[in-house]
Amino acid sequence: MPKVVVFGSVAFDSIKTPFGSAEKILGGSATYASVAASFFSKPGIVSIVGSDFPEEEMDFLKQKGIDLQGLEIAQGKTFFWKGEYGFDINSAKTIQVDMNVLGNFKPQMPEEYRKADFLLLGASNPATQLDLIKQMEKKPKLVIADTRDYYIERQKEEVLKVVKESDICLMNDSEARMLFNTPNLMQAAKEILKLDSDLAIIKKGEHGALLCTEKGAFAAPAYPLENVVDPTGCGDCFAGALIGFLAKEGKVDEDTMRKAIMYGSTVASFNAEGMGLERLRTLKMQEIEKRFNGFKEIVRF
């Protein structure tokens, strides 16, 4: 039985960055997040792929200890995304999206998953995210929901409902500013806290992340990388490693949360060093621990 349930996309990505390109490689938010989580706990995926999804990628996910009961295989093609990064490698331009089998996907949690204590909902339609929370047999210890500017622009009220119904609604700085109509991140974080949340986490990409509670703030740096090859999936790796570590520890107090954020930042930094999932495929737990500990020197004063 998985300890962390991860809902999101499993995809083929075609990616071009100033430092490399790749065609139709494994991607998707649930893929990145569950592989990142697998370093710490057993994840289970809720997603869908087409009949074109290769056996060897199924094997790769299984090798990572990921439970695939919740991964539906449907007639048709797997979700496809094509994106390109320019000089400013922080944001991708979407060139092509083919929803394929993901278009009519109505995610259903396998029976076993409904008892899980840790639930990660990848960025998607807020109604789907809310429905998945309802499918849980009991209230999980922690529900993290990711969101995206696309939904904030079109379904602001529904996204605010997700903020209320989840324990942590992950967003990046520009999304937080947009959702709460303020340029000030601490003010946005305070608005999140007002919506029944004990804590708010705002992702700041290459600038790290900010954790806010009623008591104070934690400023998590990003690892100062010299060679960013491809940032695709870094946000999902951050969320996956974060919830994977919390599930391993079995608790969600602030000190554990701070460590979880640093593990999220660590795994995300490795992910950016290779095209697609390349770096994560060979990543070892020892390497994660070494960089995690290296962060202590990076913030020491």
Contact between 204 and a second copy by CB under 8 A: the answer reads yes
Cα(36)–Cα(239) distance, integer angstroms: 8
Token pair belonging to 7: 């809902």
Q: Which of 1, 95, 97, 299 binds a second copy (CB under 8 A)?
A: 299
Q: Quick one: which segment of 29-37, 69-77, 125-133, 293-301 binds a second copy (CB under 8 A)?
A: 293-301
Name residue 211's beta-bridge partners: 201, 218
Query: Nearest distance from residue 37's CB to a second copy, in Å?
Result: 19
Contact between 253 and a second copy by CB under 8 A: the answer reads no
Contact between 193 and a second copy by CB under 8 A: the answer reads no
Binding mask 259-288 for a second copy (x = CB under 8 A): x-xx--------------------------
Binding mask 164-183 for a second copy (x = CB under 8 A): -------------------x
Cα(165)–Cα(56) distance, integer angstroms: 37
CA end-to-end distance (rounded Å), the chain = 43
Residues 32-91 that bind a second copy (CB under 8 A): 87-90
Reduced to 3 states (helix: H, G, I; strand: E, B; else coil), residue 12 is strand
Q: Which of 111, 214, 224, 285 binds a second copy (CB under 8 A)?
A: 224
What kind and span of H or E run contains 199? strand 199-203
Q: Quick one: which segment of 69-77, 162-170, 219-227, 244-252 binds a second copy (CB under 8 A)?
A: 219-227
Contact 4, 144 (CB under 8 A): no
In this structure, the strands spanning 11-17 and 20-27 are: antiparallel
Nearer to a second copy, 129 or 172 (CB): 172
Token pair belonging to 38: 């697998």
Cα(149)–Cα(208) distance, integer angstroms: 19
- Residues at the site binding a second copy, with contacts judged by CB under 8 A: 87-90, 183-187, 190, 204, 206-208, 210, 212, 216-222, 224-228, 255, 258-259, 261-262, 295-301
